[in-house]
Amino acid sequence: MWPQVYILSFPDRSLAMARTTREFNIYVKHTLDVLRARDVDVEPLLEKYDIDESALDGDEHLISQADYSQLLDEVIRKYTVPGLGLLDGRGVNLLDHGLLGYAMFASASLRKAIERHSKYQDVIGAVLHTALFIEGEEAHLRVVSIARPDMVDTEQKLHYELERLFSQWAEIGPAIGHSRHWFSRVELNYKAPPYRAMYSEVLGDPVLFEREHNQLSFPADLLDQPLSFANEAAAQLCEQQCAALLGELKRTDGIEGEVRRILANQPGKYPGIIEVARALAMGERTLRRRLADEDTTYKQVVLEFRMELAASYLRGNAMSIQEIAYVTGYADPSNFHRTFNKHQGLTPNAYRRLHQAGQ
């Protein structure tokens, strides 16, 4: 079920600008809960990865994507939990996916939610890419590629990711007035595992194995079904931020590009170089040296990322300048004005007027 705390209609714009910083904390917390429910002792994991469970709900101690990936790899290899992906995806709702989740949650229809997910799935570091296909009166949400081969380097891990992905998509059912079993069928391209019955329990019937595609199928007329919490103004605001983040993710290669990817997953709150180096599995001195080899510094990368992100937002109309200051990490708008003016040679207001005049 949707958590009751999320039954709202975005009464103010600040809620629609929720950060994506805690996504991996949420995923880890959920995995730990699933393991405990299956009588797995999680204390060795907490100790090995230096995880303070009481801090997972806050923003002070954030799990990096690298640490999350390593922890998940260890869980899949060491613990025999049938249907772990199905269990891990159940109960994870859209709002657990940060900005993109908010954009989908507030979409006017299921079609818009799926379109936004397909367009911006890299913002949340999607392991598997999906796309929508419509054939007559039936629609298919199909896995079309592996976006992160490093995270699915075994058949076991691929099956986990497919299970979790489809289990998470089941959670959107209540938002369109249906149960979690809103698909007409589920198809998977591998043999049925011994715990086949769990697929039917979590995803509904029928679940078909050894098929051509990995996909969820449902009546195409559901695409125009309105979502319970639709608010297109809020959805567009979040989408603009997703678009800007996606642009920054694609802008640079090399170690600078890797740093930018980490920054893009923590908009509004930028980690220090020690935390980023740890997320990249290297020491601070190594990160500084590798950035120097690319003729830049960590401070420069962060500043340029924030200013380019701010410029992307200013070219649109969805956010006020004060809101842009907030989502780019400036608690004091006057500090944002000074920094942007120094970096771009124009004040934020002047930059916005110039680019809107040229549209």
Helices and strands in the chain, H and E counts: 17, 5
Nearest to 241 by CA among 116, 145, 350: 116
Strands 207-208 and 185-187: parallel
Count the Cβ atoms, other than its own, within 10 Å of residue 141.
20
Amino acid code (one letter) for 197: A
Check the CA dihedral 121-356-267-5 and report its sign: negative
Dihedrals φ, ψ of 289, to 5°?
A: -65, -45
Give the tens place of pLDDT for each residue, 23-66: 677 788 888 888 998 888 989 888 888 888 887 776 666 676 66
- Using 50 as the pLDDT threshold, list the residues of the chain that sit under it: 1-21
3-state DSSP assignment of residue 5: helix
DSSP assignment of 16-65, as one string?
HT--STTHHHHHHHHHHHHHHHTT---HHHHHHTT--GGGTTSSSSPPPH
Q: Using the Cα atoms of residue 285, residue 289, residue 292 and residue 298 in order, give the sign of their dihedral.
A: negative
Predicted local distance difference test score (pLDDT) of residue 6: 30
Say what the alpha-carbon torsion angle 222, 225, 230, 235 is, to the nearest 10 degrees.
50
Q: How far apart are CA 95 and CA 322, in angstroms?
A: 24
- Say if residues 340 and 348 touch (Cβ distance below 8 Å): yes
Q: What's the rounded Cα separation, in Å, for the pair 173 and 231?
A: 18
Q: What local confidence, expressed as pLDDT, does residue 22 receive?
A: 61
Q: What is the pLDDT of residues 208-240, one digit of tens each?
A: 999 999 999 999 999 998 888 888 888 887 888
Distance (Å, whole) CA 10 – CA 233: 9
Residues in CB range of 202: below 8 A, 6 or more apart: 83, 86, 87, 89, 90, 167, 170, 180
Sort 58 into a burial class: Cβ within 10 Å, 0-12 / 13-18 / 19+: exposed
Q: Two tokens at 237?
A: 């605001």
> Per-residue DSSP letters for 257-312?
HHHHHHHHTSTTSPPPHHHHHHHTTS-HHHHHHHHHHTT--HHHHHHHHHHHHHHH
Query: Rounded distance, CA 11 to CA 113, Å?
Result: 20
Structure tokens at 228: 């319970």
The whole-angstrom separation of Cα 339 and Cα 344 is 9
Please give the pLDDT value at position 203.
94
pLDDT of 265 reads 65
Nearby residues of 110 by Cβ (< 8 Å), 6 or more positions away: 172, 176, 222, 223, 224, 225, 227
pLDDT at residue number 11:
35
Domain ranges of the chain: 4-224, 252-357
pLDDT at residue 268, as a whole number: 63
Q: Which of 1, 62, 26, 55 is closest to 272 using CA atoms?
A: 62
On whether the 252-357 domain is CATH 1.10.10.60, my answer is yes
DSSP 203-219: H-S-EE-S-S--EEEEE
